[in-house]
Chains A and B, each alone.
Chain A
Amino acid sequence: MNREDFSMLDGDIVYFDNGATTLKPRKVIEKMDEYYKMYTSNIHRGDYDSAIKTNMAYDGVRKIVANFVNCQEDEVIFTSGTTMSINTVVFGYMRKHLKKGDEVIISKAEHASNVLPWLKLSEEIGIVVKYAELDSDMELTVKNIEKAITEKTKVISIAHVTNVIGDVRDIATIGKMCREKGILFNVDGAQSVPHMKVDFEKSNIDFLSFSGHKMCGPTGVGVLVARKELMEEMDPLCYGGGMNQTFEADGSYELKVGPSKFEAGTPPIAEVIGLGEAIKYLEEIGMDKIHEHEVELKKFLVSELEKIPNIILYNKKSNSGILSFNIDGVFAQDSSVYLNNYNICVRAGNHCAKILKDEMKIKNTVRVSMYLYNTKEDVLKLVEVLKKSEEIFRIVI
Chain B
Amino acid sequence: MDGNLRREIILDNYQNPMNRGLVDDDSYLKVNTNSESCIDNLDFMMKIEGGKVKDIHFDGEACAISTSASSILIRSLIGKSVEEAKEILINYQKMINEEDYDKELLGELNVYDELQPNRKNCALLPSVAVEKMFRSLEDGKKC
The one of A334, A350, A394 in contact with B63, judged by C-beta atoms closer than 8 angstroms, is A334
Partner of B39 from A348, A393, A396 at Cβ < 8 Å? A348
On whether the beta carbons of B61 and A363 are closer than 8 Å, the reply is yes
Question: What is the size category of the interface that chain B forms with chain A?
Answer: 20 to 34
CB distance from A111 to the nearest CB of B (A): 16
Given known A337-B118, A337-B119, contact A397–B39 (CB-CB < 8 A): no
Cβ A350 vs Cβ B14 within 8 A: no
B134 to A: closest C-beta gap in Å: 27
B31 at the interface (CB under 8 A from A): no
- Tell whether, in the assembled complex, residue A332 and residue B64 are in contact, meaning their CB atoms are under 8 Å apart: no
Main secondary structure of the interface of B (DSSP, over half): helix
Interface residue B105 (Cβ < 8 Å from any Cβ of A): no
CA distance A332 to B116 in the complex (A): 17
Determine whether the beta carbon of A349 is less than 8 Å from that of B39.
yes
The answer to whether the Cβ of A364 comes within 8 Å of any Cβ in the partner chain is yes
Interchain CB contact under 8 A, A396 and B64: yes
A397 to B68, CA, bound (A): 10
Given contacts A364-B61, A393-B14, A397-B65, contact A333 B7 (CB under 8 A): no
Does B72 count as interface, using CB distance less than 8 angstroms? no
Bound: A393/B64 CA distance, A: 8
B99 nearest CB across to chain A (Å)? 23
Cα–Cα distance between A350 and B39 once the two chains are bound (Å): 8
Residues of A within 8 A of B109 (CB): none
Cβ contact within 8 Å between B11 and A331: no
Contact with A along B50-94 (1 / 0, CB 8 A): 000000000001111101100000000000000000000000000
Q: Are B7 and A397 in contact (CB under 8 A)?
A: yes
Task: State how many angstroms separate the Cβ of B94 from the closest Cβ of chain A.
Answer: 22
Is B133 close to A, CB under 8 A? no
Give chain B interface residues in 1-18, CB to chain A under 8 Å: 6-7, 10-11, 14
Return chain A residues, CB-CB under 8 Å to B63: 331, 333-334, 337
Residue of B nearest to A348 (CB): B39
Closest B residue, CB atoms, query A363: B61
A332, B40: Cα distance in complex, Å: 10
Rounded to whole Å, the gap between the CB of A327 and the closest CB of chain B is 12
Flag whether B38 is at the interface (Cβ < 8 A).
Answer: yes
- Bound: A349/B61 CA distance, A: 11
B116 nearest CB neighbor, chain A only:
A337
Question: Which residues of B sit under 8 angstroms from A393, Cβ to Cβ?
Answer: 7, 11, 14, 64
Q: Which residue of A has the minimal Cβ distance to B65?
A: A397
A202 to B61, CA, bound (A): 45
Give, as a whole number of angstroms, the nearest-CB distance from A17 to chain B. Answer: 14
Across the interface, which residues of B come within 8 angstroms of A397, CB to CB?
6-7, 10-11, 14, 64-65, 68
Docked CA distance A350–B11 (Å): 25
A331 and B62 contact, Cβ closer than 8 Å, known pairs A348-B39, A393-B7: yes
Within 8 A of B (CB), among A319-371: 331-334, 337, 348-350, 363-364
Question: Are A334 and B7 interface neighbours, CB within 8 A?
Answer: no
In angstroms, Cα B63 to Cα A394, docked, is 14
Chain A min CB distance to B64 (Å): 5
Cα–Cα distance between A331 and B64 once the two chains are bound (Å): 7
Q: Contacts of A332 on B, CB cut-off 8 Å?
A: 39
Closest 5 CB pairs of A and B: A349-B39, A333-B63, A331-B63, A397-B10, A397-B7
Given A350-B39, A393-B11, A397-B14; 9 other pairs, CB 8 A cutoff:
A331-B61, A333-B63, A333-B122, A337-B116, A337-B119, A349-B39, A363-B61, A396-B65, A397-B65
B interface residue numbers (CB < 8 A to A): 6-7, 10-11, 14, 38-41, 61-65, 67-68, 116, 118-119, 122
Can you show 19 pairs from A to B with CB atoms below 8 A apart?
A331-B64, A331-B67, A332-B39, A333-B39, A333-B63, A334-B63, A337-B63, A337-B116, A337-B119, A363-B41, A363-B61, A364-B61, A393-B7, A393-B14, A396-B64, A397-B7, A397-B11, A397-B65, A397-B68
